[in-house]
């Protein structure tokens, strides 16, 4: 890290009269302005905004990540919000967080712990401190630490900073609410609206801390509040006030920071959450295949944003039906598929249980269908807003009868786009339901998304029944790769009946013939087994690793970061992350058996490990399992893997 | 004149028990489709599970015999995707009103353009004789050896309660009556429920005896037609009048009642009060069972509204493909 000393420019000083305060009001008074200021260059930094769930922390975090991405920083975000829509104000359960990781080089995770914690009230300070590094800078609004606030947050003493064991020099304690009120004193806004701008003051202060250009934030707000320009300008004024406050006082921060982008991939980008990327992937696939996109769904956290996103795009002809229940969501998608659409159903948690029966109908009727499962904490209602990988065995095996179904898992928020596209292509070309697993972590998290060019994506060619088969065609006639042909209603000469009862392979009539059922079961299994998926890629020390880390889906970033740290510490480590779970990549056994030690790390009690043991003879991995509803912590992974390496 | 005959919609050999009401209904459906004249490849017949749900297998159209209770939901997806398909959703009383009750009411509420056939024999036949949600209180069956202790659904009440706009009833053995309601259901834009009363010769024989043959219908049924007097009896000697808060059966020419006093059926009335009264008659209450189109009211259909909204939004928005959609976001450029 380079340390640069520059003189402090004073052009921003136009406001921020610091209120005179007694020592009792604010024992951690800001330091007086210095004449010079250190600017430190950082490789990466993690900022966590936290406050009441109504405090607008998600918006502040979002703007900060966008502002950072605009200068070419790599970003990864993680919103961490409570299940309650509005828990009692100031309560410990009502705290909402938004963590942003920005880096000069590529960042793979939203970060374990933060370098800067914004705590908008006493409850946030109390609950979020655990997510801060020991030497983190902590920004608090002293106006939200009154006696009453402290009681609500269950503090025992008035010296809350000492009570939490925090070094006061690390705390930027500012009367944030007061300053927001002052900044907007002439705006004519009512108190409630003024207080809604508090998040922007914190944002402004953080922007100052990291030398961010405010213009991007201003533009963001002007677009977001295009129909309410007064609100936009009030927010802008408050951001500027926060920035100036930092600048004028240098707060208690020791330094300000710069994160210079190093691994720039030129191109045009947008910030995208996993759920939005998933929706975009379906839209792209439907357009490429020349089909209508149909979504049958029922609102359920954290999958609902996919329904929201697709419902917006009627100008692209997208049809969304918010059904009466999860069952109808999936059933109607099966009907849509029969009628010739790219049919999708989206769900989470208990919803995937309810859809199982209709998913099986698509299995036996051999119709294309994409089932999106945004995994969350279970069982039953479980932890609706938290993340897990606990549906893997359910989607692989949780249906009656022999029910082979391809399963994929997206690796990151931006990979959700490609994963949704690939799952759609697989479903349409192989006439099968496909499960796409994401989870709350990548669904709500975001990353910088390089705008895709549809023309660079592979064609999607469903196996429509050839016209020359008219007269001889029967419903279970198969193309060379074992796929049933698709005859869409409305086509003359191809009327047929499908159904949930077993059918005769030749005639398509209902059949209970023992040999036929055995044959049909095998044909359905073979069809799925024959689907070509890319080989499992090994990253890191692929030729000489002492430990192979194995995971699937959304843990990719954390496992990759853990591998990076271990390698930086001189260990020989590799990573193989599964994106295709069924069928498994052809080289799976070769990869898993190549290394002396393998650890399967997953956010469940060992589902992938069990599945791989079933599929790869003699494979006995080490396991790292955690089911906390929170993303992995890289440091914990590193420590656990070190132990395994020592064994 | 239609260029199709009933034969064009026929396929296979039905496997229902001899005498089952499903045979009669199937023959009427073939004839009705021929009279309607819709091409078999533009028809989709979608059923759930149960004896009657085997029906699609005997149709030379597109179709699906799906899973228990989900036919209305599956048909919804098909109709929304392709509104040009003539979609017939066929369910029994168990399929449609027990396991599929939720989908039944919501299809009605949404008013999606499905022809919803409810083949009501008041029994579970395929699972060999358990009471259904339309079996009367006290009904003795294998799963209720001492009689049921619950009241049945009355399908019309459920349809009306779900804001249904079309309800008709026919007896399976009455081909002309069945064909008439099927054609009306087809012509009606929106969800059209046709309750078909049918016998189960094995497990619930005689359940609709009072109207199952022509003689019985003369005495115990009233054919309702929009714009016509509500009269019935072998010589149309009886009629319905409104009295107090309800309906009353009167003999024309007696007690001072003349034909002018008899109610004229209004299937198109938005207010469904009297239609519901008609639909609920005949439950051992001294009233005849109403057959024919009881309610038939125009209303916006879900599928039309979906299509119209898409057109509207297409005209209003400037992005119409994926590449244009991307451009609606906040985009930044990273340069070399």
Last residue of a domain, one of A482, A511, A531: A531
Q: Are residues A632 and A615 in the same domain?
A: yes
A23 belongs to a structural domain: no
First to last CA, chain A: 35
On the question of pLDDT at A428 being above 60, the answer is yes
Q: CA A230, A233, A238, A241: dihedral to nearest 10 degrees?
A: -140
Q: Are residues A581 and A634 in the same domain?
A: yes
Do A497 and B65 count as a contact with CB atoms less than 8 A apart?
A: yes
On the question of pLDDT at A15 being above 50, the answer is no
A24 belongs to a structural domain: no
Last residue of a domain, one of A427, A456, A485: A456
Q: Helix, strand or coil for residue B126? A: coil
A550 belongs to a structural domain: yes
Best CA proximity match to A67, nearest among A261, A231, A276, A232: A261
Total domain count, chain A: 4
Total domain count, chain B: 1
Select the residue of B66, B102, B336 nearest A499 (Cβ to Cβ).
B66
Chain B residues 83-102 within an 8 A CB cutoff of chain A: 84-85, 102
B180 belongs to a structural domain: yes
B102 belongs to a structural domain: yes
* CATH code (residue A302): 3.40.50.970
Q: Could you give the CA distance from residue A487 to residue A474 in angstroms, rounded to a whole number?
A: 10
Do A510 and B57 count as a contact with CB atoms less than 8 A apart?
A: yes
Q: Are residues A428 and A559 in the same domain?
A: no
Q: Are residues A221 and A288 in the same domain?
A: no
| The total number of residues written for chain B in this structure | 336
Q: Are residues A111 and A207 in the same domain?
A: yes
Q: Are residues A80 and A212 in the same domain?
A: yes
Crossing angle for the helix pair A229-249 and A214-224, nearest 10 degrees? 160
In angstroms, the separation between the Cα of residue B235 and the nearest Cα of chain A is 46
Q: Helix, strand or coil for residue B250? A: strand
pLDDT confidence of residue A5: 27
Q: Are residues A388 and A274 in the same domain?
A: yes
Contact by Cβ (8 Å): A126, A161: no
Q: Are residues A388 and A450 in the same domain?
A: yes
B142 belongs to a structural domain: yes
Chain B residues 58-77 within an 8 A CB cutoff of chain A: 59-67, 70, 73-77
Domain range for residue A576?
538-646
First to last CA, chain B: 72
Best CA proximity match to A46, nearest among A261, A273, A259, A263: A259
| pLDDT (tens digit per residue) in B186-229 | 999 999 999 999 999 999 999 999 999 999 999 999 999 999 99
**pLDDT band per the 50, 70, 90 thresholds, residue A29:** very low
Q: In B, which residues are within 8 Å of A287 by CB distance? A: 321-322
Q: Could you give the CA distance from residue A635 to residue A626 in angstroms, rounded to a whole number?
A: 14
| pLDDT (tens digit per residue) in B265-313 | 999 999 999 999 999 999 788 999 999 999 999 999 999 999 999 999 9
| pLDDT (tens digit per residue) in A62-103 | 999 988 888 888 899 888 877 777 778 888 888 999 999 999
B256 belongs to a structural domain: no
B168: β partners: B194, B293
A32 belongs to a structural domain: no
B318 belongs to a structural domain: no
Best CA proximity match to B115, nearest among B174, B60, B38: B38
Domain range for residue B115?
6-212
Do B70 and A328 count as a contact with CB atoms less than 8 A apart?
A: yes
Contact by Cβ (8 Å): A301, A348: yes
Q: In A, which residues are within 8 Å of B106 by CB distance? A: 323-324, 328
Report chain A's mean pLDDT, rounded to a whole number.
Answer: 90
pTM given for the model: 0.90
| pLDDT (tens digit per residue) in B23-40 | 999 999 999 999 999 999
B145 belongs to a structural domain: yes
Can you read off the two tokens belonging to residue A95? 């705290």
Q: Are residues A419 and A509 in the same domain?
A: no
Q: Could you give the CA distance from residue A293 to residue B36 in angstroms, rounded to a whole number?
A: 31
Contact by Cβ (8 Å): B55, B26: yes
Q: What percent of chain A has pLDDT over 70?
A: 92
Q: Could you give the CA distance from residue A512 to residue A191 in angstroms, rounded to a whole number?
A: 73
A20 belongs to a structural domain: no
| pLDDT (tens digit per residue) in A216-265 | 899 889 988 999 999 999 999 999 999 999 888 865 455 667 777 666 78
**In what helix (H) or strand (E) does residue B291 lie, and over which residues does it extend?**
strand B289-296
* CATH code (residue A133): 3.40.920.10
A6 belongs to a structural domain: no
Q: In chain A, which residue's Cα lies nearest the Cα of B71?
A: A331
Q: Are residues A514 and A555 in the same domain?
A: no
Do B326 and A489 count as a contact with CB atoms less than 8 A apart?
A: no
* CATH code (residue B21): 3.40.50.970
Q: Are residues A104 and A161 in the same domain?
A: yes
Q: In chain A, which residue's Cα lies nearest the Cα of B320?
A: A316
Can you read off the two tokens belonging to residue A366? 């051999």
Do B60 and A495 count as a contact with CB atoms less than 8 A apart?
A: yes
Count contacts between A and B (CB, < 8 Å): 208
A513 belongs to a structural domain: yes
Q: Are residues A562 and A592 in the same domain?
A: yes
Q: Could you give the CA distance from residue B50 to residue B261 in angstroms, rounded to a whole number?
A: 45
Last residue of a domain, one of A258, A293, A315: A258
| The total number of residues written for chain A in this structure | 647
């Amino acid at each position: 890290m380079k340390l640069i000393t520059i003189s402090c420019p004073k052009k921003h000083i136009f406001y921020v009269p610091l209120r005179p305060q007694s020592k009792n009001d604010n024992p951690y008074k800001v330091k007086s302005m210095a004449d010079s200021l250190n600017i430190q260059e950082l490789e990466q930094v993690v900022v966590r905004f936290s406050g009441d769930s109504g405090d607008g922390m998600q918006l502040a975090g979002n703007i900060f990540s966008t502002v950072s991405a605009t200068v070419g920083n790599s970003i990864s975000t993680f919103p961490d919000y409570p299940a309650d829509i509005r828990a009692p104000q100031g309560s410990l359960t009502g705290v909402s967080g938004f963590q942003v990781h920005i880096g000069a080089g590529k960042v793979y995770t939203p970060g374990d712990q933060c370098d800067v914690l914004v705590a908008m009230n006493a409850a946030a300070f109390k609950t979020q401190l655990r997510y801060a590094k020991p030497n983190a800078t902590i920004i608090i609004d002293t106006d939200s630490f009154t006696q009453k606030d402290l009681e609500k947050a269950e503090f025992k003493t008035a010296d809350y900073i000492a009570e939490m064991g925090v070094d006061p020099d690390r705390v930027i304690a500012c009367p944030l609410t007061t300053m927001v009120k002052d900044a907007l004193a002439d705006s004519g806004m009512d108190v409630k609206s003024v207080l809604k701008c508090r998040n922007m003051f914190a944002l402004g202060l953080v922007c100052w801390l990291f030398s961010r250009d405010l213009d991007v934030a201003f533009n963001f707000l002007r677009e977001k509040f295009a129909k309410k320009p007064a609100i936009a300008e009030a927010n802008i004024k408050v951001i500027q006030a926060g920035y100036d406050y930092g600048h004028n006082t240098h707060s208690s921060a020791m330094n300000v920071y710069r994160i210079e982008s190093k691994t720039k991939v030129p191109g045009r980008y947008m910030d995208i959450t996993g759920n939005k990327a998933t929706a975009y992937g379906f839209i792209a696939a439907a357009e490429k295949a020349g089909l209508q996109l149909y979504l049958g769904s029922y609102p359920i956290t954290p999958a609902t944003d996919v329904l929201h996103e697709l419902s917006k795009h009627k100008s692209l002809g997208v049809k969304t039906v918010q059904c009466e229940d999860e069952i109808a969501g999936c059933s109607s998608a099966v009907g849509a598929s029969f009628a010739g659409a790219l049919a999708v159903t989206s769900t989470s948690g208990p919803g995937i249980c309810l859809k199982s029966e209709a998913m099986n109908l698509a299995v036996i009727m051999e119709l294309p269908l994409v089932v999106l499962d945004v995994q969350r904490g279970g069982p039953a209602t479980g932890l609706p807003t938290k993340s897990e990988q606990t549906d893997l065995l359910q989607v692989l095996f949780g249906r009656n009868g022999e029910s082979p179904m391809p399963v994929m898992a997206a690796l990151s928020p931006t990979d959700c786009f490609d994963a949704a596209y690939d799952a759609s292509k697989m479903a349409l070309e192989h006439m099968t339901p496909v499960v796409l697993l994401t989870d709350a972590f990548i669904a709500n998290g975001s990353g910088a998304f390089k705008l895709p060019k549809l023309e660079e994506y592979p064609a999607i060619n469903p196996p429509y029944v050839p016209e020359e088969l008219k007269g001889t065609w029967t419903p279970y006639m198969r193309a060379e790769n074992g796929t049933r042909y698709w005859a869409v209603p409305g086509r003359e000469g191809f009327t047929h009946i499908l159904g949930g009862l077993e059918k005769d392979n030749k005639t398509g009539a209902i059949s209970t013939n023992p040999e036929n059922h055995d044959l049909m079961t095998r044909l359905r299994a073979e069809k799925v087994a024959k689907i070509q998926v890319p080989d499992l890629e090994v990253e890191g020390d692929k030729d000489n690793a002492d430990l192979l880390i194995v995971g699937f889906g959304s843990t990719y970033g954390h496992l990759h970061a853990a591998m990076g740290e271990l390698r930086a510490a001189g260990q020989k480590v590799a990573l193989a992350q599964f994106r295709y779970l069924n069928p498994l990549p052809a080289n799976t056994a070769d990869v898993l058996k190549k290394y002396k030690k393998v650890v399967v790390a997953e956010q469940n009690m060992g589902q992938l490990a069990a599945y791989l043991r079933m599929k790869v003879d003699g494979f006995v991995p080490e396991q790292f399992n955690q089911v906390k509803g929170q993303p992995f912590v890289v440091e914990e992974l590193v420590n656990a893997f070190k132990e395994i390496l020592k064994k | 004149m239609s260029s199709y005959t009933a034969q064009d919609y026929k396929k296979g050999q039905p496997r229902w028990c001899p005498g089952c009401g499903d045979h009669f209904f199937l023959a009427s459906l073939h004839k009705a489709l021929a009279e309607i004249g819709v091409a078999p490849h533009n028809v989709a017949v979608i059923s759930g599970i149960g004896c009657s749900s085997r029906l699609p297998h005997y149709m030379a159209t597109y179709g699906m015999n799906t899973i228990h209770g989900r036919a209305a939901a599956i048909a919804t997806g098909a109709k929304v995707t392709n509104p040009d398909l003539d979609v017939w959703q066929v369910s029994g009383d168990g399929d449609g009103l027990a396991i599929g009750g939720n989908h039944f009411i919501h299809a009605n509420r949404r008013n999606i353009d499905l022809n919803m056939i409810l083949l009501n024999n008041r029994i579970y036949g395929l699972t060999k004789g358990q009471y259904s949600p339309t079996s009367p209180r006290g009904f003795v069956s294998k799963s209720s050896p001492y009689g049921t202790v619950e009241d049945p659904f009355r399908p019309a009440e459920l349809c009306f309660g779900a804001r249904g706009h079309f309800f008709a009833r026919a007896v399976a053995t009455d081909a002309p009556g069945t064909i008439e309601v099927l054609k009306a259901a087809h012509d009606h834009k929106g969800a059209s429920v046709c309750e078909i009363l049918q016998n189960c010769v094995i497990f619930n024989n005689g359940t609709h005896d009072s109207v199952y043959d022509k003689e019985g219908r003369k005495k115990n049924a009233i054919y309702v037609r929009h714009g016509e007097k509500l009269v019935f009896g072998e010589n149309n000697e009886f009629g319905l009048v409104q009295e107090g808060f309800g309906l009353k059966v009167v003999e024309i020419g007696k007690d001072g009642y003349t034909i002018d006093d008899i109610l004229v059926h209004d299937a198109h009335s938005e207010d469904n009060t009297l239609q519901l009264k008609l639909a609920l008659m005949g439950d051992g209450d001294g009233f005849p069972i109403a057959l024919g189109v009881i309610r038939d009211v125009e209303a916006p259909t879900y599928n039309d509204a979906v299509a119209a909204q898409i057109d509207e939004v297409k005209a209003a928005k400037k992005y119409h493909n994926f590449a244009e959609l991307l451009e609606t976001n906040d985009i930044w450029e990273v340069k070399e």
